A and B are shown apart, each in its own frame.
Chain A
């Protein structure tokens, strides 16, 4: 289907179904129950899952395929957000032109940064991208953001926001009731949402989430096509043995540059979508921690795999938003069934790992994955599947651990 083989079609369909049903899947606990804190099915977070999924899918096209580790991809994310907000200010609140502009601007920036950074490889490449991203951050934070200058592109520390005086030449300056209009996709507003009450459960369907999810599915589909294409094969060749590529008549540089621009464009798209969900842009989105986060997402999920980066993005965003919310009150609620002394003990025990300590949990988890599952969560999933398969399949012989190869032809 759509030019994909059976396995990839199945993967795409599974991802599509999970994304569409996410409002149900992510809200397994009834409202008001003690475990409702763990629910992730609210629009703001679901939007982040898919948007950072796009960011990580794009990052993986560069890092997963070519092995070039960029430490500056947040620059493209941030630039994408600024570009989208400018479209909302100047043109109108339609999201399509905004994200297209985000992609175009970040692609141009990626072309420039990639052209220079790709002259080096390994750690030098990483440092160059980091340096460029820090430059972009500083430009956004101060140089291009002086509110008193006529050339104020980013509005500095305050961040770029919509105002009632923005021209919006193809849209409306203000809504009938005098407010700032909301980004919309042909009339569907990004912050529109609908609550479905089923018994004790509440499921929220958000316009913004479904728009971002649709874009993520397209982005995922394109990534699969790239992975399976001759271009993707060359990129894997770059990672595996660049020397061989050069002596095979192939110039690796334009291939890596193309991969860099594509992944920068993905990042710009993600940044644009963030601005669509919440039309403001600040320099902190470009900080090096944001660049590091997408590296973690990709490695945690499984670099070079198709679905890994999406899983990694979901994982990290879940921790960042859910674990950080668990405070001592919630913990006391969970352990209330225990005798008092034990309850306090458990709360003290768990306390450092939740709330403000969520970084600690994530760090430990990351360490465990890198040490025991170098292929990331995807490798973990494959191992679990493998266990099931082995259990289900009839034992191949008296010794289940021993798989003899099919006997070669007798004549050999």
Chain B
């Protein structure tokens, strides 16, 4: 039994079948990659996991509890954080404030009326947020407006915002897209360290095969809304169906 169990999930948009009978089992403390061509339904699957979309059929269990019918914030509070394909950050806030919000969410839950404390004086929260920024190498951008960051930096910021929550399941939708090579390698290294240190499971969607093969222990190939194969990276590399459906196209 994996920590995340997706069973027979289907989702249609009008006539378009974005997900057809998807089954996925993610083992606890593994890094599980999902790859597939554009429009395969990868992001749609994540949307189902985080409560953004309700599937037409099927079930989604996280650690023995159903995720269906729960609000996104409830699912996050259960220990699931997500990095989006287009970065979702607080553009009007500074970088450090962006990271402090998840720190507060972790400490205070879905709602707590702290109207008379002062953010600057929350030493513990500030320290946590700064440590997370240092981890992703963005501490020197601490007081910048988040909207002014480059695309790659926005991704790193969003990653810091997720990591600081110490999620049990981290969902990464193309976490290195738009990053320079050096930053991509740095992110790979960071994810590896986090994975070694913490009790964390990662599901990673990536088009960059270098990232996938550096991190993943299992890979699911999704094509036209249905899982094609699921196997170890070594076997996936040589799989004829995969080469045809996906890797051939990417090469």
Which residues of A line the B interface, CB within 8 A? 3, 5, 225-226, 228-234, 236-237, 239-241, 243-251, 254-255, 258
Contacts and interface: CB of A to CB of B under 8 A. Distances in A.
B90 to A, nearest CB: 4
B105 interface: yes
A245 B104 CA distance: 11
Contacts of A246: 71-73, 76
Given A234-B104, A236-B93, A258 B118 contact: no
B73 A229 contact: no
Interface of B: 50, 71-73, 76-77, 81-82, 84, 88-93, 97, 100-102, 104-106, 108-120, 122, 161, 165
Contacts of B82: 247
Nearest to A257: B111
Contact of A250 (B50, B81, B105, B115): B105
Name which of B109, B113, B120 has the most chain A CB atoms within 10 A of its CB: B113
A230 B125 CA distance: 10
A247 B110 CA distance: 11
- Which 6 A-B pairs rank lowest in CB-CB distance, beginning with the nearest? A249-B76, A240-B92, A240-B90, A230-B114, A249-B105, A231-B115
Contacts of A226: 115
A375 to B, nearest CB: 13
Given A229-B116, A246-B73, 13 more contacts: A3-B116, A5-B118, A228-B119, A230-B108, A230-B117, A233-B104, A233-B119, A237-B93, A241-B90, A247-B81, A248-B161, A249-B165, A255-B111
27 contacts: A3-B118, A225-B115, A229-B114, A229-B117, A230-B108, A230-B117, A230-B119, A231-B113, A233-B104, A236-B90, A237-B101, A240-B91, A240-B92, A240-B93, A241-B91, A246-B71, A247-B82, A247-B88, A248-B101, A248-B105, A249-B77, A249-B109, A250-B111, A251-B71, A254-B111, A255-B111, A258-B113
Nearest to B82: A247
B116 A245 contact: no
Contact of A244 (B88, B113, B115, B120): B88
A241 B157 CA distance: 15
A231 B117 CA distance: 8
Contact of A247 (B72, B100, B114): B72
B109 A231 contact: no
B170 to A, nearest CB: 12
A247 B51 CA distance: 9
A230 B110 CA distance: 13
A237 B109 CA distance: 15
Contacts of B93: 233, 236-237, 240
Given A230-B119, A234-B101, A249-B105, A244 B111 contact: no
A230 B104 contact: yes
Contacts of B110: 249-251, 254
A225 B118 contact: yes
A174 B112 CA distance: 48
